[in-house]
Amino acid sequence: MAVWAISDLHLSFANPQRRDQYAARWQDHAESIRNQWIAAIAPRDLVLIPGDISMALNHRDLQPDLDWLGRLPGIKIFSPGNHDRWWGKLNNLQRILRRSQRAVDGNVIVESGAVVCGARSVDVIDLDHASVPQRQQHERIMSTVEAMLDEATARREPGMPLYVLWHHPPFDQHGRPGPWVSRFEHAEVTACVYGHLHAELQWSFAVQGIVRGVRYHCVSADAVGFRPLRIDRPSLAPGTSD
């Protein structure tokens, strides 16, 4: 079994949207993802998808996107992104997922010998200058992260990797960590996968590689060439640190 990750699929089969209006690399992106996915991924592999899965606004329009993903090999694990407005309550979503699909949103699952969790994320901001609603939102997120990682630690057996799906970059554009990063380190997270970034300049500043024991991977579909990135084999990129 291998573990892969890719985010920001931005599927829209019910109401097709031309994403190449934003950048030429997005032309026929779903076909590109499909072809490279099939070439790389085996039926028993895990594929982590941290958000912006579908541009659908409701579960009805989501169905073609779930069907498309359901036909691809591998066990897919989703977490919500800022564009996943169809997400809703986790219990309702779990009832419509296909056989090869799972979802995490503040919860923990054990799949194929790995512990996987994830939650709805936000951008890193300066809390000293944040509004009251922003601080309250961060407090709610941190409460979710604390409970989620406590459960993950309790369910984790020796030798099990722990993966976190986190849509927004865990660090800001200057490399400063969000408040959740120290919790990832305390829980000895194996790897955190995130997306959300779609500009080459953003990719160049994104924190990737090993930072204080945790591996970080930016897996926005366009950042990884619309090909899922294998993440279960540690590799240090230039500029990473222990």
In the chain, where the domains are located: 3-230
The answer to whether the beta carbons of residues 98 and 63 sit under 8 Å apart is no
The SS3 call for residue 164 is strand
| pTM confidence score | 0.94
The answer to whether the beta carbons of residues 80 and 43 sit under 8 Å apart is no
Query: Is the torsion defined by CA of 172, 177, 183, 184 positive or negative?
Result: positive
* CATH superfamily placement of domain 3-230: Metallo-dependent phosphatases (3.60.21.10)
Compute the distance between CA of residue 155 and CA of residue 53 in angstroms, rounded to an integer.
27
The kind and range of the H/E element at 194 are strand 191-194
pLDDT tens digits in sequence order for the chain, 242 residues long: 899 999 999 999 999 887 877 788 889 999 999 999 999 999 999 999 999 999 999 999 999 999 999 999 999 999 999 999 999 999 999 999 999 999 999 999 999 999 999 999 999 999 888 999 999 999 999 999 999 999 999 999 999 999 999 999 999 999 999 999 999 999 999 999 999 999 989 999 999 999 999 999 999 999 999 999 999 986 544 333 33
Burial class from Cβ neighbours inside 10 Å (0-12, 13-18, 19+) for residue 170 reads buried
